Amino acid sequence: MGKKVAGSGPCSRIPDNSAFKQQRLPAWSPSLTAETVLPFFYIIGLVCVLLGVALFLTVQKIQEIQVDYTTSGTCDACFEMRSNKMSASVKCRCSVDFSLKENFQEDVFLYYGLVNFHQNLRRYMDSRDDGQLVGRTTNLKNPSTYCEPFAYNNGTPIAPCGAIANSMFNDSFTLKYLPPTGGVVIVPFYRTGIAWYTDKNVKFRNPQIENELLPQVFQGTAQPFYWQKPVYELDPSDPNNNGFINEDFIVWMREAAFPSFKKLYGILNRQSKAIFEHGLPAGNYSVTISYNFPAQYFQGKKLVVLSTVSWFGGKNIFLPIAYIVTGGVILVVAVVLTVVYIKIGKKGLNMEE
């Protein structure tokens, strides 16, 4: 119904005179003028360069060492052994020596790394049952079809089911400090606190059945094919770190985005020994590996990584360099734009037909 306007009846079909209908809403019409664009470029360029430099300086302070232990040290024997499926259950231990050139300050993190291991394959990533992992008892005995062919072992449901769980990394490490004075000090690591809070407390839960202990709850399920022990015995040292909430398991279950990745294994326990109070001292170290995980099938490598972190993460040189380069390019472009604007730009606008 049209608004009543002088000269038109109430039934007039005249459209409303509202700003919206007449497309006259008050509006802000910005335009790209030199006054706004050029200062913006200078500011952004400067910000990027400064940020890049700051990041660069931070990264410089981070110490990191990577030790490839696939076949190095005494591990080539183990590597050969794991190539052979027949000897899959035979234990194999080996060690690799390395040295730290300087002290690793503050918190030191121990990672294991895998190269060329595709945790990001579609079928692989789908092959899990989050219902089972969050402790639903129905899913425990009836794993999702996504888990195939790792859902049942001769009719017995597998817990945890699926390809990811099945392929869980199962090497373990013992780091030994070899002080110049002689002797061997085992470096203590926290093996918990390495998973995300939400994973540990929400996403992964053990199935709960009243008055039943963990092994009883998992009664009637089979362990994954490649595992050497059931899920409720993953951490013999800490009964609360067993079942689906085992942190090594949780870390593994958070699939890496790229085929080469590292995952957190432990955090240096600085309290237990005075020598490690300020981190790892420089010197010789040896890492002993319980070598279980076969790498030759995927032509991969296995690494041990020791690293400190800063406020924005690990030793990541890409970000600071990228910032500095971007900032630099923007500054150069800003100068060019200024020149263009002063020399030619104004002329261009005045060229009228």
Partner 1 sequence: MLAVPDYPLGQHTLGQNSTKFPYCIYLQFHLYHDSSLLFCLFQDNHIKTSKYNIFTFLPINLFEQFQRVANAYFLFLLILQLIPQVSSLSWFTTIVPLALVLTITAVKDATDDYVKDMEGVQIISHCECFWSQGIIAVLVFGLPQADLLLLSSSEPYGLSYVETAELDGETNLKVRQALTVTSELGADIHKLAEFDGEVVCEPPNNKLDRFTGTLLWKDGKFPLDNGKLLLRGCVLRNTEWCFGMVIFAGLETKLMQNCGRTTFKRTSIDRLMNTLVLWIFGFLMCMGIILAIGNSVWEKSVGGNFRKLYLPWDEVLSDAFFSGFLTFWSYIIILNTVVPISLYVSVEVIRLGHSYFINWDRRMYQAQRDTPAEARTTTLNEELGQVEYIFSDKTGTLTQNIMVFSKCSINGKIYDSADAPRRLIPKKTPCVDFSFNPLRDRRFRFHDHSLLEAMKLDETAVREFFRLLALCHTVMPEEKMEGELVYQAQSPDEGALVTAARNFGFVFRARTPETITVYELGKAVTYQLLAILDFNNVRKRMSVIVRNPQGRARLYCKGADTILFDRLEPASEELLCTTSEHLNVRFAGEGLRTLALAYRDLDEDFFQGWMQRLREACSLVEKREDLLASLYEEMEREMTLLGATAIEDKLEQGVAETIACLTLASIKIWVLTGDKMETAINIAYSCNMLRDDMNELLEQGKEEDPNCLPSGPDCCVVLSLQAHALEADLEGLLLDTACLCRTVICCRVTPLQKAQVVELVKRRRRAVTLAIGDGANDVSMIKTAHIGVGISGQEGMQAVLASDYSFAQFRHLQRLLLVHGRWSYFRMCNFLCYFFYKNFAFTLVHFWFGFFCGFSAQTVYDQWFITLFNIVYTSLPVLAMGLFDQDVNEKNSIRFPKLYEPGQLNLLFNKRQFFLCSLQGAYTSFTLFFIPYGALYHGVRDDGANVTDQQSFAVTIATSLFVILICFQIGLDTNYWTAINHFYIWGSLAVYFSILFAMHSNGIFGIFPSQFPFIGTARSSLSQPVVWLVILLTTVVCVAPVLVVRFLRADLYPTQTDKVKCVTSGVCEACPNG
**Binding residues among 283-312 for partner 1 as defined by CB under 8 A:** 294, 297-299, 307, 309-312
Q: Which segment (93-101, 208-216, 278-286, 342-350) binds partner 1 by CB under 8 A?
A: 342-350
Q: Should residue 4 be labelled a site residue for partner 1 when binding is judged by CB under 8 A? A: no
Q: Which stretch binds partner 1 (CB under 8 A): 197-205, 212-220, 236-244, 273-281?
A: 197-205
Using DSSP's 3-state secondary structure scheme, residue 7 falls into coil
Contact 339, 332 (CB under 8 A): no
Q: Quick one: which of 53, 65, 68, 131 contacts partner 1 (CB under 8 A)?
A: 131
Among the candidate windows 176-184, 214-222, 236-244, 321-329, which touches partner 1 by CB under 8 A? 321-329
- Please report, as residue ranges, which positions from 163 to 182 form the binding site for partner 1 (by CB under 8 A): 163, 166-167
Residue ranges in 216-275 that form contacts with partner 1 under rule CB under 8 A: 251, 254-264, 267
Which residue is it, tokens 């690591």?
Answer: 189
* Burial bucket for residue 169 (CB in 10 Å: 0-12, 13-18, 19+): middle
Give the nearest distance from C-beta 82 to partner 1 in angstroms.
11
Stretch that binds partner 1, among 68-76, 210-218, 282-290, 320-328 (CB under 8 A): 320-328
Residue 39 touches partner 1, criterion: CB under 8 A: no
Smallest gap from Cβ 53 to partner 1, in A, equals 13
Neighbours of 43 (CB within 10 A): 12
CB of 13 to partner 1, least distance (A): 5
DSSP 310: B
Q: Are strands 156-157 and 152-153 parallel, antiparallel or unpaired?
A: antiparallel
Are 230 and 74 a contacting pair, CB within 8 Å? no
When asked if residue 10 is in the footprint of partner 1 (CB under 8 A), the reply is no
- Work out the number of other CB atoms within 10 angstroms of the CB of residue 252: 20
If DSSP codes are grouped into helix, strand and coil, which group holds residue 316? coil
Q: Please, what is the minimum distance in Å from the beta carbon of residue 88 to partner 1? A: 10
What DSSP assignment string belongs to 260-293? SEEEEEEEE-TTT-GGGTTEEPSEEEEEEEE---
Task: Choose which of 129, 143, 246, 248 interacts with partner 1 (CB under 8 A).
Answer: 129
Nearer to partner 1, 122 or 180 (CB): 122
Q: What whole-number distance in Å separates Cα of residue 141 and Cα of residue 164?
A: 18
55 binds partner 1 (CB under 8 A): yes
